[in-house]
Amino acid sequence: MWALAIWQWESKWVFRDSPHTVLLNHADHGTVSDLHFVCAECLAGVSFDNVAITTGPGYESLKLLPGSAERKTRTSQKVTVEAEHFGRSMDIIGDRWSFLIISAAYFGVARFDEFQAQLNISSNILSDRLANLSNHGMLARNRYSERPPRYEYILTQKSLDFYQIPLMLALWGDRWLTVPEGELFVRHHIPCGHRLKVVAICAECSEPVSAASMSFA
């Protein structure tokens, strides 16, 4: 699913004027032009503003465990390592910090000092990554104060579309990066209230695309 999310975003934003270097075939009809990511329960679209996240039973236990800081670091490292294996979109996103900045933006973080407080990131790294993300069209810079000049960083259509990629990663993490007490986080689809499970729908035949029914050419 994660690979499908990356493929879809790349098709739209990286290979805008040329065919994707990876062709996706589905069932008997051949090439897929686009995918829609929808909720498996209600079949409505999944986007950054209709997914609710709550902490699961494992979350509190993790905070109480001795050595939990170390454990937490290992978990995020594992996620980062997985993230770095995937494709060209990761080149645009660049690195772990950029990935975290975009993720924070989905939670409504917009201003420099807010990013700094949320992510515990040094100011030189933060300004570097914000500039890079702006150059790639992932964030739009908006001046909200003249003196001193201050900017907020707003999500763009490009980064809104990118949401499926960290979401798939997060759903994978919800399922696999658990502790014996249970999941750390639980996600629900707000329109229907069900536990979130995302399916990719083929734009050609409107049938779900799964790893078993697709082949990369």
Q: How far is the CB of 82 from Zn ion (least distance, A)?
A: 26
Return the number of the residue (144 or 216) whose C-beta is nearest Zn ion.
Answer: 216
Q: How far is the CB of 125 from Zn ion (least distance, A)?
A: 37
The values of phi and psi at residue 46, to 5°, are -115, 125
Judge whether 189 and 42 are in contact, CB under 8 Å: yes
Inter-axis angle of helices 164-176 and 68-84, nearest 10: 130
Judge whether 13 and 178 are in contact, CB under 8 Å: no
Q: How far is the CB of 207 from Zn ion (least distance, A)?
A: 5
Return the number of the residue (41 or 82) whose C-beta is nearest Zn ion.
Answer: 41
Return the number of the residue (87 or 208) whose C-beta is nearest Zn ion.
Answer: 208
Q: How far is the CB of 201 from Zn ion (least distance, A)?
A: 8
Alpha carbons 45 and 8: distance in angstroms, whole number:
14
The residues of the shown chain that bind Zn ion, judged by CB under 5 A, are 26, 39, 41-42, 189, 192, 202, 204-205
Return the number of the residue (42 or 131) whose C-beta is nearest Zn ion.
Answer: 42
Please return the burial class of 112, using the count of CB atoms within 10 Å of its CB with bins 0-12, 13-18 and 19+. middle
